Structure 1
Amino acid sequence: MNIDFANLDKAFKEHEDEFLTAALEVMSSARYILGKETDEFEEKLRQFTGSQHALGCSSGTDALLLALMALGIRSRDEIITTPFTFIATAETIACLGARPVFVDIDEETFNIDASLIEAAISENTKAIMPVSLYGQMADMDEINRIAEKYGLAVIEDGAQSFGALYKGKRSCNTSTIGCASFFPAKPLGCFGDGGAVFTKDEKLYEMMKAMRVHGQVKRYVHKYIGMGGRLDNLQAAILSVKMNYYEEDIKRRQKVADNYKTRLKGIIPTPVVKEDRTSVWAQFTIRVQNRGWVQENLAKVGVPTAVHYPIPMHLQECFGYLGYKFGDFPVSEMCADEVMSLPMNPYLSENELDYITNNLIKLL
């Protein structure tokens, strides 16, 4: 048996007629960037998250960049974030000349350890950027409390958690600015690249709206330094179709996660989701010893795996100038050596889950 890690082909075939109709409408109208489809998708995003404003953009990375730019982040500013994440989180901070300041993670959830944040704040700190890793949000109440105490902004990197709940509120609607990614392999993924920013702040919304079109407030009138960060209408149309079924997809992903947990109970620790929140299971990530050997042997029987992320940010060569060293963030380093993600998508069958877990258990 050969298992598909993300099953993107099934995601297309399930609603193929609707996708083709939506794509054809965009192509025949010759409205390729922004426009009606983007407006409609943004309205769906607002309604789904409860956020006052939602703005589609070109990628999850550009969503982070738009958020930082709108907050006026610049050289010598410091942004507190996690070293255990995809590079875009820290990369966008560095792109503006600001300094990523890393804080270690909670071993159970893999998210930033909120109890360590306050000690990392300095006179140069301007914002906190928690990452909602693997589909579950961080401790947002505590993070927001710290931010309010010190007059800081909070940017949620919700690239992996769009649709998750924290105390009844959706990811991307619990902080100053929320950022989402619609990369194809994300729980809500388009057929190319796309992202979105969310905020309740009218001024920040208007700034980001202008900044995604090179800071333009009307044709050839540029109020801000911006970027080319617009969302393609084609991707907006595809995502609008997917939004119609997204609640059900989240339930299906939860069912797959529950099945994994049942099969692996008592054999290996499975992901911990705190009682006051949910996960959309962007990944189903376990920790194993001898990871390379386990991966190699699973691959031999047709079970793909992935590692998110094998090298924490503070040990990446590109961040060497920050002066961090091995041992500075021991929990992140330990998890980076041990994490392994199993196939996760709404289409995994009972037989496939049996096959994956039975083969995994043989190796443990």
Structure 2
Amino acid sequence: MTKIDLSRKIEVPSWVDALLKPTKIGSGELERQWEEIGDEVMDVLKKVMPTGKYTLGPYLKKFEEEFAEFSNSKYGIGMSSGTAALHIALEAMGVGPGDEVITVCNTYVATAFAISYCGATPVFVDIDPKTYNLTAELVEKKITSKTKAIVPVHLYGQVVDMDPIMDLAKKHNLYVLEDASHAHGAYYKGRRAGSLGHAAAFSLYPSKNMGAYGDGGVITTSDPELNEKIRMLRYVGQRVKFIHEVIGFQDRLDEIQAAMLSVKLRHLDDWNNRRRKIAAIYDEMLKDTPLQLPYVADYAHHIYYSYVTITPNAEERTNLLIHLANNDIGAFAMYPILVPMQGAYEDLNYKESDFPVGSSYATRVLNLPIFETFREDEARATAEAILAYYDRA
């Protein structure tokens, strides 16, 4: 049973209030996307709705096959959310009580929650100061006899250096589950995210590079046994209807979302290229500022789920966020509190000093607005506002 203490004091960063109001630059991404593809989406909805088949039907099968092919994988399994995708994939890998799963400290909390849902213990590692991702060297130091799996997170749209991770997993007989929720369509040495581990979990939350009109997720794998186990677990533990072999879950993606996602998948590579063009504008205009700009590894094709900078110090992050908000520009900080420092994991007794790079970056991370319908003039206006802050306009 989860114990909830409603008397716990919650400290809210001073800059949060400045970011709650809609801004002229950085808002309206999904509304603009609808203007671009709304007719295509409505056309496919008109085909789905009359069928009366809204779960586990032909449109889900079609999307699963399309996304698997897109991700260089044999199988795609539509899920109710990215969190469910992570959880069910780990369950299929046999992760359970007494096991440890290694992941990174600076991710969305759902990465760790999925491990906890299995009854296992998340083990957190620090990050590489250039890519913000975990590395095989950091992971190897945390492997014990209890380690069952590794969950590398392709943070912000750049893929983890996966070959050393897979070599490490083979050496220690571990599963690798990619958390690819920021990396739809990203490449690693010419291979798509989603095809690099034993399985991968993608969130299809609306704001992702490819999102549903609500919650959704998808798992990719080329392992036929994992594919069958995942399908059984996502639909109440059955392979044959009414025969429930194990305690399963109700975590399938519905037909309507799948049909709409098939439309979006056709646009994804183009949308990612648009994000890359916006990132190139930021790179050029902000190269002489004190901000640490995104580093792109030579093995990676970055698709910029977020354009992430690191400010020189925490105070400057706060001042810049407020400055941009005052100029009607929406920026934010993802993620300002490391997962092991959250109240949900205080029983694991981690300290900020356990993650010297991650802890420092958490106080200084500053995400600039970027999405596929973000205009070049808006990117330039954002960069100019930052230059004005530094008196370099």
Residues 121-142 of structure 1: CA distance to partner in whole angstroms, max 9, x if unpaired? 0000000110000001111001
Residue of structure 2 equivalent to 1:197:
219
Residues 162-207 of structure 1: CA distance to partner in whole angstroms, max 9, x if unpaired? 1100011100100111111111000011111111111111111001
Residue of structure 1 equivalent to 2:17:
none
Map residues 212-227 of structure 1 onto 2, 5 A cutoff.
212-227=234-249
Residue of structure 2 equivalent to 1:254:
276
Q: Does 1:164 align with 2:186?
A: yes
1:77 to 92, 95, 99: 99
Distance 2:318 2:286 in 1: 20
TM-fit CA distance, 1:143: 0.5
Q: TM-score, normalising length from structure 2?
A: 0.91
Distance 1:304 1:286 in 2: 14
8 A Cα contact 1:5 1:345, kept in partner: no
2:205 to 169, 176, 183: 183
Residue of structure 2 equivalent to 1:272:
295
Distance 2:261 2:195 in 1: 19
Structure 1 residues 136 and 5, CA gap change in structure 2 (3 angstroms)? farther
TM-fit CA distance, 1:269: 2.5
Residue of structure 2 equivalent to 1:94:
116
Unaligned runs of at least 5 residues, structure 2: 1-22
Percent of pairs with identical residues? 37
Q: Does 1:286 align with 2:309?
A: yes
8 A Cα contact 2:161 2:299, kept in partner: no
Q: Does 1:301 align with 2:301?
A: no
Q: Does 1:33 align with 2:59?
A: no
TM-fit CA distance, 1:225: 2.1
The letter of the residue matching 2:101 is I
8 A Cα contact 1:129 1:155, kept in partner: yes
Distance 2:193 2:279 in 1: 19
8 A Cα contact 2:115 2:122, kept in partner: yes
Residue of structure 1 equivalent to 2:11:
none
Residue of structure 1 equivalent to 2:260:
238
Distance 1:296 1:27 in 2: 46
Query: SS of the counterpart of 2:200?
Result: strand
8 A Cα contact 2:156 2:183, kept in partner: yes
TM-fit CA distance, 1:266: 1.9
8 A Cα contact 1:90 1:100, kept in partner: yes
Residue of structure 2 equivalent to 1:47:
69
Distance 2:280 2:136 in 1: 27
Distance 2:92 2:62 in 1: 24
Distance 2:119 2:27 in 1: 37
2:342 to 316, 325, 338: 316
Distance 2:278 2:63 in 1: 28
The letter of the residue matching 1:103 is V
2:379 to 337, 353, 363: 353
TM-fit CA distance, 1:6: 6.0
Distance 1:140 1:239 in 2: 27
TM-fit CA distance, 1:5: 4.0
TM-fit CA distance, 1:242: 0.7
Query: SS of the counterpart of 1:311?
Result: coil
The letter of the residue matching 1:284 is Y
Q: Does 1:139 align with 2:161?
A: yes
8 A Cα contact 1:3 1:302, kept in partner: yes
TM-fit CA distance, 1:52: 0.9
TM-fit CA distance, 1:24: 2.4
The letter of the residue matching 2:87 is L
Residues 288-312 of structure 1: CA distance to partner in whole angstroms, max 9, x if unpaired? 1321221112111110012110100
2:127 to 105, 125, 149: 105
8 A Cα contact 1:71 1:204, kept in partner: yes
Shift >6 Å, 4+ stretches: none
Equivalent residue pairs, number: 364
The letter of the residue matching 2:279 is A
1:4 to 26, 43, 68: 26
Distance 2:328 2:51 in 1: 44
Q: Does 1:129 align with 2:151?
A: yes
Distance 1:167 1:276 in 2: 5
Distance 2:179 2:367 in 1: 20
Structure 1 residues 12 and 95, CA gap change in structure 2 (3 angstroms)? same
Aligned-CA RMSD value? 1.2
